[in-house]
């Protein structure tokens, strides 16, 4: 991969939410659910050693993995290369629609790894859009490791820390027009090393989801249809399981409604050969533009009223509530001392909390809220 030249020196944002990144060690497959999205690990289980300070760079190396240690044909390096190519292609497609360019910040860490964050802010179509790649090396407390693998581990003491690797791409895009939905995706890989007689573990996680302010059934059928086709190609059981997992994960318990209108979501997935899950993740991330781009192009020039813009702001408030209170990626980043601009890249520029905001019965706003309270099947 050609070296990438940063557009600015001042730090802005990178290092995606590697919250739920679950990992790889290709020696043996441990069958797990992979779709249990509704359970959220307690914040205390995510506590980890603070990451080393970022060293900002202007020219990004071909790989952010450890040279001479992580082999080119390892899942670590191959996944990093795959998501960096996806970052390039997705950013190019978004720039073409918007007509403006992403700003880039990149860095490495002395302990290994680094990140590349690209942000388009104040564009023609998007108020704020970010696409971030991150590679992290760290150590996981025993409690977090037990939670991650879902079972007891012999010879693991409470004071032990298990070395881990996490790599992922994350993005959130907030358009100006309330008829254009917000979109989020995140694809990640996580592995722990063989350590102190404890075998290494690996997981994949990811998903793409959509958050409109106004319901357009044709748009939802298109978005979900793209991902159903991707899922069906790899396993017909994927879409119904991952769609359900997405609706469950993005539920805002204190509101009794979902953040948006779903998509696909999976975590802790290692129930088949890693090559098969890798291929699925690659196809899923490479279909982000196919699923989202036509919807934005269709609505970016739609007229809208101040009241419709206000409703978009209220729905963005829900987005903020979920991300700061429940999202495992955000919690992970804050607990590990990750780069704050990258962690909060997902936040919209503006949001609103109107007191006792209840949409009028039968209104388009009420229709959207009903779909968030009672998730629907779109395809």
Which range of residues forms the domain containing residue 217?
4-373
Question: What's the Cα-to-Cα distance from 230 to each of 186, 206, 251, rounded to whole Å?
Answer: 16, 14, 24
- Residue 39 burial (CB count, 10 A): 12
67, part of any domain: yes
379, part of any domain: no
Query: Domain with 184 in it: what CATH number?
Result: 3.40.1500.10
Q: What stretch of H or E contains 334? A: helix 328-335
List, in order, residues 6 or more apart from 290 with CB less than 8 Å away. Answer: 226
List, in order, residues 6 or more apart from 68 with CB less than 8 Å away. Answer: none
Q: What is the mean pLDDT of residues 106-116?
A: 93
Instruction: Label each residue of 345-374 as H, E or C.
Output: HHCCCCCCCCCCCCCCCCCHHHHHHHHHHC
Neighbour-count burial of 83, counting CB atoms closer than 10 A to its CB (0-12 exposed, 13-18 middle, 19+ buried): buried
- Separation between Cα atoms, residue 91 and residue 89, nearest integer Å: 6
378, part of any domain: no
**Does the pLDDT value for residue 150 go beyond 60?**
no
Q: What is the CA radius of gyration of the chain?
A: 20
Confidence of residue 200 (pLDDT cuts 50, 70, 90): confident
Question: One of 174, 184, 222, 224 is an active-site residue; which one?
Answer: 184
31, part of any domain: yes
List, in order, residues 6 or more apart from 98 with CB less than 8 Å away. Answer: 120, 123, 124, 125, 126, 129
Q: What is the mean pLDDT of residues 2-28?
A: 35
**Helix extents (H) in 155-301:** 217-234, 238-249, 274-285, 288-299
User: Across all residues in the chain, what is the average pLDDT?
Assistant: 86
**Coil, strand, or helix at residue 184?**
strand
Confidence of residue 328 (pLDDT cuts 50, 70, 90): confident
309, part of any domain: yes
**Does the pLDDT value for residue 181 go beyond 80?**
yes
Q: Which residue has the higher pLDDT, 107 or 37?
A: 107
129, part of any domain: yes
Reply yes or no on whether 184 is catalytic. Answer: yes
Predicted TM-score of the model (pTM): 0.85
Closest Cα to residue 17, out of 138, 104, 136, 122? 136
**Does the pLDDT value for residue 365 go beyond 90?**
yes
Q: Using the structure block, give the residue that is written with the tokens 């696409």.
A: 131
Q: What is the mean pLDDT of residues 129-158?
A: 75
Q: Are 190 and 21 in contact (CB under 8 A)?
A: yes
82, part of any domain: yes
254, part of any domain: yes
List, in order, residues 6 or more apart from 371 with CB less than 8 Å away. Answer: 215, 261
**Does the pLDDT value for residue 47 go beyond 60?**
no
First to last CA, the chain: 37
* Tens of pLDDT, residues 204-248: 999 999 999 999 999 999 999 999 999 999 999 999 999 999 999
Output the pLDDT for position 360. 97
* Tens of pLDDT, residues 63-94: 999 988 999 999 999 999 999 999 999 999 99
Q: Using the structure block, give the residue that is written with the tokens 């190519």.
A: 85
Overall domain count for the chain: 1
Q: Which residue has the higher pLDDT, 42 or 84?
A: 84
List, in order, residues 6 or more apart from 238 with CB less than 8 Å away. Answer: 231, 232, 264, 266, 280
Output the pLDDT for position 338. 78
- Separation between Cα atoms, residue 134 and residue 335, nearest integer Å: 16
């Amino acid at each position: 991969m050609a070296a990438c030249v940063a557009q600015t020196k001042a730090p802005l944002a990178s290092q995606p939410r590697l919250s739920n990144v679950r990992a790889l060690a290709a020696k043996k497959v441990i069958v797990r659910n992979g779709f249990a999205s509704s359970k959220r690990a307690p914040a205390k289980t995510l506590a980890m050693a603070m990451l080393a300070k970022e060293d900002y760079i202007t020219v990004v190396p071909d790989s952010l993995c450890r040279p001479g240690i992580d082999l080119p044909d390892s899942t670590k390096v191959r996944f990093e290369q795959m998501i960096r190519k996806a970052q390039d292609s997705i950013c190019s497609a978004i720039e073409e629609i918007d007509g403006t360019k992403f700003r880039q910040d990149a860095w490495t860490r002395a302990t290994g790894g680094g990140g590349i964050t690209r942000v388009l802010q104040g564009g023609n179509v998007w108020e704020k859009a970010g696409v971030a790649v991150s590679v992290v090396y760290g150590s996981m407390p025993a409690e977090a490791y037990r939670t991650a693998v879902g079972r007891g581990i012999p010879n693991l003491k409470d004071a032990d820390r298990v070395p881990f690797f996490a790599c992922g791409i994350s993005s959130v895009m907030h358009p100006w027009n309330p008829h254009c939905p917000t979109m989020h995706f995140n694809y990640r890989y996580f592995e722990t090393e063989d350590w102190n007689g404890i075998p290494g573990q690996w997981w994949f996680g990811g998903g793409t989801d959509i958050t409109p302010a106004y319901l357009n059934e044709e748009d939802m059928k298109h978005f979900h249809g793209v991902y159903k086709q991707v899922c069906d190609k790899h396993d017909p059981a994927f879409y119904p399981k991952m769609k359900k997992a997405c609706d469950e994960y993005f539920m805002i318990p204190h509101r009794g409604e979902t953040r948006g209108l779903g998509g696909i979501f999976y975590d802790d997935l290692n129930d088949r050969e890693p090559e098969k899950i890798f291929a699925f993740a690659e196809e899923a991330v490479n279909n982000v533009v196919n699923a989202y781009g036509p919807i934005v192009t269709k609505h970016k020039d739609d007229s809208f009223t101040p009241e419709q813009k206000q409703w978009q702001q209220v729905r963005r408030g829900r987005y903020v509530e979920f991300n700061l209170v429940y999202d495992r990626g955000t919690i992970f980043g804050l607990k590990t001392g990750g780069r704050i601009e990258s962690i909060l890249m997902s936040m919209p520029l503006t949001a609103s909390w109107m007191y006792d905001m209840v949409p009028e019965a039968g209104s388009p706003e009420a229709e959207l809220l009903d779909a968030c309270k009672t998730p629907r099947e779109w395809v």
